[in-house]
């Protein structure tokens, strides 16, 4: 599988999963030190709009995903204080006519000639986690092995949750459980309790033993079903492959951090330092015009971390950054609500920029092939969680509605408009000093938790657009759960590929985040069997 070092043997993992699942009840019955649980899940999604970037093909109503997942969790208490935990996931997808069409267009065809195998993006089997827990002395606990760690307070837009990258290729943005999206890493996590100070220290060391694909956020730049508009069927690795060994962000480098978390009065708080890979893919543009067959001609862009790029137009890199974090959370009697905040100060965060005279690569491909600038960035979040008791009367819910509102901002320090920073390579929206996002969650419960409606909404206050995701999860029985969800996106601007040809590719749009999801609305359903 080209897209990573995950196992190419989902069948084998599925077989192991099935075998482990089969011994689960027996393990429980015998009260053994070996426990097994997990789930089987079928997920289906349909496009509800006709995509703009698949000309001549009506995407509306097409099945975009038919995904079968087996997840098995094991826990083996090897000794009194020593536990070995394993989490395994195997996935098989059905090749739908829609996926077939994307494949014909060129999805996932990097190093495969004109046509690749799109299913390689989705079928996989992996050891999600495999670690051992053991104590050292009275107050120190060690977890060593492949694992995932979440720092920070917010689940939506990561500020301090930067220990791992996320894999957004099979489902972007909408998956509620980050647990399923985080790329897990081999790490040592050491927790030292300091009850005298009402807190504890966490030390993370990632020795750099992971596979190259296990760092950074993985977006669908392969032209698959979660490719951003207007890049359906385009595998960008053909002109800008990954460079995991760039000296700005070499996956073999040791990374890690420290976090102190504790309680002071009524407030729980944390302070952290993290040395990690910048999660967003950064385009390291080629310093030459080899894309046009002119390897000796400078492009005008400066390549970082190596003399010139491996790719014709550039490479995707994940530079290493330093992140200084702070979080706090407390309950307010007066508001009867929990307030949380999170601040991450990122030193030298990498940004793409659009030069006043863009390189020929940018003019031919998209904005963002002009080089990289570094800016200090303050990402902060303020959130209020409140239970709204009135819904018991208004909507007949069995308990107060859970309501959460969150304001998220990325504040660029020493902002200079003439830096002409871009939000992302590929789209034209220029980054403003503040980038505000407002989100809200409304969760209800009926029939003793057997029916759970939820609405998640968001609005991009700076660049326009937003999303609304209403869903209902129904508990069919104690083992079966069924979810139906609609994913609605809107945007003020979007990139029209037909108008973005040479020499206008760098200046033809101002699309922000929700422009990437233009016409990507979908209906989603999942059926889960828990064991």
Partner 1 sequence: MTIQPKALALSLSVAFAGLAFDVGAAELPEGTVVSAENIEQIRNDTFEGKTIASLLTEKMEWRIKNNGWKLPLYKSKEIPLDPSWVKASQANAGKTKINAETCQVDGWGAGAPFPNIDMKDPQAAEKVIWNWHLGQLTGDVAIVPYYTQVLIDGAKGVHAEPVAEFTRYAMKGRLAGEAVEGDGTERGRQLLYFKSPADMKGLGTYTVQYDSTKFNDVWAYIPAVRRVRRLSGGAWMDPVGSSDQLQDDLEIFNARPCWYPGYKMVGKRWVLAVANGKNPLWNRSGTSFEEKYPVLENKPPYWNMNNDRFEPREVYVIEATTPSEHPYSKKILYVDVKYPRIYYGETYNRKGEFWKFMEFHSYVGKAEDGFRDVRTTGGAVIDFQRNHATVSLIDAATWRTNIAGVSAKDFSLQTLQAAGR
Q: Which DSSP state fits 232?
A: T
If the CB atoms of residues 336 and 416 are measured against partner 1, the closer one turns out to be 336
Please report how close the Cβ of residue 246 comes to partner 1 at its closest, in angstroms. Answer: 29
If the CB atoms of residues 108 and 528 are measured against partner 1, the closer one turns out to be 528
C-alpha to C-alpha distance for 203 and 197, rounded to whole angstroms = 17
Please report how close the Cβ of residue 470 comes to partner 1 at its closest, in angstroms. Answer: 19
C-alpha to C-alpha distance for 129 and 97, rounded to whole angstroms = 33
CB neighbours of residue 259 within 10 Å:
22
Please report how close the Cβ of residue 466 comes to partner 1 at its closest, in angstroms. Answer: 22
Give residues with Cβ within 8 angstroms of 94, minimum separation 6: 66, 67, 68
Please report how close the Cβ of residue 352 comes to partner 1 at its closest, in angstroms. Answer: 29
C-alpha to C-alpha distance for 144 and 146, rounded to whole angstroms = 7
Task: For residue 265, give both structure tokens.
Answer: 């009065």
If the CB atoms of residues 436 and 529 are measured against partner 1, the closer one turns out to be 529
Give residues with Cβ within 8 angstroms of 403, minimum separation 6: 385, 386, 387, 388, 440, 441, 442, 443
Q: Residue 458's closest CA among 449, 467, 450?
A: 467
* Binding residues for partner 1 (CB under 8 A): 28-31, 37-39, 71, 73, 75, 85, 133, 139, 141, 148-150, 152-153, 155, 176-179, 182, 191, 193, 195, 198-200, 261-263, 266, 268, 329-331, 333, 336-338, 340, 385-387, 389, 392, 398-400, 445, 448-450, 475, 477-479, 481, 528, 530-531
If the CB atoms of residues 245 and 399 are measured against partner 1, the closer one turns out to be 399
Please report how close the Cβ of residue 478 comes to partner 1 at its closest, in angstroms. Answer: 5
Please report how close the Cβ of residue 207 comes to partner 1 at its closest, in angstroms. Answer: 21
If the CB atoms of residues 85 and 119 are measured against partner 1, the closer one turns out to be 85
C-alpha to C-alpha distance for 74 and 38, rounded to whole angstroms = 9
Q: What is the dihedral of CA 239, 244, 249, 251, to 10 degrees?
A: 170
Please report how close the Cβ of residue 202 comes to partner 1 at its closest, in angstroms. Answer: 8
If the CB atoms of residues 292 and 402 are measured against partner 1, the closer one turns out to be 402
CB neighbours of residue 453 within 10 Å:
17
Cis check: omega of the bond before 230, within 30 degrees of 0: yes
If the CB atoms of residues 153 and 315 are measured against partner 1, the closer one turns out to be 153
């Amino acid at each position: 599988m080209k897209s990573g070092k995950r196992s190419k043997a989902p069948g084998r993992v599925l077989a192991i999963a099935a075998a482990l699942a089969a011994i689960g009840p027996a393990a429980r019955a015998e009260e053994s030190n070996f426990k097994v649980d997990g789930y089987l899940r079928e997920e289906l999604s349909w496009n509800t709009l006709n995509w703009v970037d698949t000309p001549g093909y009506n995407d509306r109503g097409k099945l975009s995903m038919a995904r079968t997942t087996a997840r098995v969790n094991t826990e083996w208490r090897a000794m009194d204080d020593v536990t070995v935990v394993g989490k395994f996931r195997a996935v098989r997808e059905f090749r739908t006519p829609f996926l077939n069409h994307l494949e014909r267009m060129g999805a996932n065809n990097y190093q495969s000639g004109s046509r690749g195998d799109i299913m390689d993006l989705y079928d996989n089997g992996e050891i999600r986690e495999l670690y051992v827990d053991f104590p050292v002395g009275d107050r120190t606990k060690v977890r060593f092995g492949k694992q995932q760690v979440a720092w920070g307070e917010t689940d939506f837009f990561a500020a301090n949750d930067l220990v791992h990258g996320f894999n957004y290729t099979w489902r972007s943005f909408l998956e509620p459980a980050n647990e399923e999206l985080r790329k897990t890493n081999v790490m040592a996590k050491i927790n030292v309790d300091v009850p005298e100070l009402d807190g504890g220290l966490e030390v993370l060391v990632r020795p750099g033993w992971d596979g190259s694909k296990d760092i950074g956020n993985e977006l669908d730049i392969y032209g698959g079903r979660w490719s951003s508009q207007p890049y359906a069927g385009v595998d960008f690795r053909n002109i800008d492959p990954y460079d995991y060994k760039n000296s700005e962000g070499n996956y073999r480098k040791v990374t890690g951090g420290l976090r102190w978390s504790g309680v002071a009065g009524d407030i729980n708080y944390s302070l952290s330092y993290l040395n990690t890979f910048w999660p967003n893919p950064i385009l390291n543009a080629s310093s030459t015009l080899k894309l046009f067959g002119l390897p000796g001609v400078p492009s005008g862009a400066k390549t970082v971390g190596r003399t010139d790029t491996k790719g014709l137009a550039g490479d995707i890199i994940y530079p290493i950054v330093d992140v200084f974090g702070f979080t706090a959370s407390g309950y307010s009697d007066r508001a009867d609500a929990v307030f949380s905040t999170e601040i991450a100060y990122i030193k030298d965060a990498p940004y793409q920029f659009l030069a006043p005279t863009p390189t020929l690569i940018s003019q031919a491909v998209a904005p963002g092939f002009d080089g990289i600038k570094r800016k200090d960035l303050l990402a902060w979040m303020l959130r209020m969680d409140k239970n709204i008791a009135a819904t018991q009367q208004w909507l007949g819910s069995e308990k107060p509605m859970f309501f959460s509102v969150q304001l998220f901002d990325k504040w660029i320090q020493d902002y200079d408009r003439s830096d002409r920073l871009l939000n992302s390579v590929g789209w034209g929206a220029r980054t403003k000093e503040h980038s505000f996002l407002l989100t809200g969650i409304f969760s209800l419960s009926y029939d003793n938790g057997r029916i759970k409606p939820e609405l998640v909404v968001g609005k991009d206050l700076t660049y326009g657009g937003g999303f609304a995701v209403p869903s209902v999860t129904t508990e069919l029985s104690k083992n079966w759960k069924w979810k139906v969800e609609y994913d609605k996106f809107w945007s003020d601007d979007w990139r029209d590929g037909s108008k973005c040809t040479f020499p206008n590719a760098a200046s033809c749009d101002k699309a922000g985040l929700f422009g990437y999801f233009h016409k990507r609305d979908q209906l989603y359903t999942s059926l889960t069997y828990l064991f």
